[in-house]
Amino acid sequence: MKIITTSWDDGYPADNRIAELLHKYNMAGTFYVPKRNDEYEVMKEDAISDISQQFEIGGHTLNHVRIRSTSNDLFEREILGCYIWLEEFLDIKPLSFCFPGGVFNKPAMEYALNSGFKLLRTTELLSTTGLNSNSLLPTTLQLYKHDHSTYFKHLLKQFKFNSIWLYAHSGTRADLFKMVDFYLRQIDDYGGCFHLWGHSWEIEKFNLWKDLEEILKLISGNGKFKYLPNAGLLEENN
């Protein structure tokens, strides 16, 4: 299994620009969208519908809420409500769900899966494992310039010691382009999933559009890899 997938959170209007770049480089992608977001503007439903013609749309709660409680009322409103909203206006059964901020707990995971979602994308970084047996999907790299210590702190917090070892021996020192090359070579040699993700509002805020396009050039058009939306990993795991 050698897979490349991408995902983009929050439904910010500049997601249209990401969709255009993915189309340009014949890449797959999943867009995780809430209906409303108090932090950032969200695309109108017709724009989301347009993107859905080419790319997967996943759930991101109804109001971009970080799930820190175990309240069934909260779950019903934000998780099931999100599923029903996407199902009704896109006329699909959404498969993928991402918790805002990467914040979730076991009851919320179980509720999301019981609501109809089949895959739960996390914000775990520096992973090449793809979908695990608990239906959790980690990521490899975020389209954002983290520093060296941030990667270590992130992995230590999640007790990802194998990922710490791999990153420590990568020699990339948090250089985003060197990291792309390193993790692609790891997957080419040993198999796995390269998962790029980000936020279009963040790309716009920090003027990372050129970086995004350069990375898409690097990872696209490689006949050794399958290019799949996040939900495409469900079939690969069966």
Mean pLDDT on 97-110: 96
Amino acid occupying residue 134: N
Q: In the prediction, which pLDDT does 158 show?
A: 65
Amino acid at 107: P
Q: Tokens representing 203? A: 């790309």
- With a cut of 90, say whether residue 149 has pLDDT above it: no
Q: What fold does the segment set 2-145+193-236 form as a domain? A: TIM Barrel (3.20.20)
Express each pLDDT in 53-94 by its tens digit: 999 999 999 999 999 999 999 999 999 999 999 999 999 999
CA distances from 7 to 59, 80, 134, 189 (A): 12, 21, 19, 24
Domain boundaries, the chain: 2-145+193-236
Closest CA to 235 of 96, 84, 35, 86: 96
Q: What is the pTM of this model?
A: 0.95
Q: How many CB atoms lie within 10 A of CB 37?
A: 20
Provide the pLDDT for residue 159.
Answer: 64
| DSSP track, 96-129 | EEE-GGG---HHHHHHHHHHT--EEE----S---
Average predicted confidence (pLDDT) for the chain: 94
